């Protein structure tokens, strides 16, 4: 078995992890929404409790966005000026005509990168939730900024075709030869 076959096989197998990320996002979002509702009930039962309404609302809002993870990723891509992507089985990069025998490997690597983008963005949303609740670590970690970067980076990786096209346009490269 050569390296081309191994990488292509891994890319077909890793597609299940993209679906796993979306299902895990739904579970995490429901957990965040339920936890914020529990905190709101606890706050209304004893008004002196040390839970801010802002963190409850932010946690619920982030949880609702995570429940709708795929459409949230489309909205993130739209805010970055990219078109909505179709989450097919395998990424077919359009500029692989000059890659020759390495075209399947490059397409497989782009598929793997796109799958990791889902996990990277999910980590960003959980970091934003941590920032909304005050975070941990003595206050020297900026979870909001880190979460924002993870979300944008994950969205760029999910739609790797458009991201590479944007880099090509920015650098003035007609194709990667």
Question: Tell me, what's the pLDDT at 26?
Answer: 92
Alpha-carbon distances, residue 114 vs 30, 64, 78, 131 (angstroms): 25, 23, 17, 26
Q: Where are the domains of the chain?
A: 3-171
Ranges of the chain whose pLDDT falls below 50: 177
Give the angle 136-142-146 at the CA atoms, nearest 5°.
Answer: 115
CA distance 177 to 159: 21
Task: Round to the nearest angstrom and report the end-to-end CA distance of the chain.
Answer: 27
pTM strictly above 0.85 = no
Question: Tell me, what's the pLDDT at 29?
Answer: 93
From the number of C-beta atoms within 10 Å of its C-beta (0-12, 13-18, 19+), residue 110 rates as buried
CA distance 105 to 169: 23
Contact indicator for 143, 46 with CB cutoff of 8 Å: no
DSSP 91: -
């Amino acid at each position: 078995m050569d390296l081309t076959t191994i990488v292509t096989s891994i890319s077909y197998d890793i597609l299940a992890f993209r679906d796993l990320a979306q299902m895990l996002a739904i579970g995490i979002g429901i957990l965040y929404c339920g936890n914020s509702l529990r905190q709101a009930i606890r706050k209304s039962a004893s008004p002196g409790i040390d839970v801010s309404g802002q963190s409850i609302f932010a946690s619920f809002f982030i949880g609702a966005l995570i429940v709708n993870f795929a459409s949230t990723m489309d909205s993130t891509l739209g805010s970055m000026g990219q078109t909505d992507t179709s989450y097919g089985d395998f990424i077919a990069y359009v500029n692989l005509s000059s890659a020759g025998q390495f075209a399947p490997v490059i397409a497989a690597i782009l598929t793997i990168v796109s799958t990791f983008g889902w996990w990277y963005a999910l980590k960003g949303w959980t970091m934003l939730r941590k920032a909304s609740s005050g975070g941990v670590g003595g206050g020297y970690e900026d979870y909001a900024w880190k979460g924002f970067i993870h979300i944008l980076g994950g969205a760029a990786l999910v739609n790797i075709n458009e991201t590479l096209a944007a880099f090509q346009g920015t650098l003035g490269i007609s194709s990667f030869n």
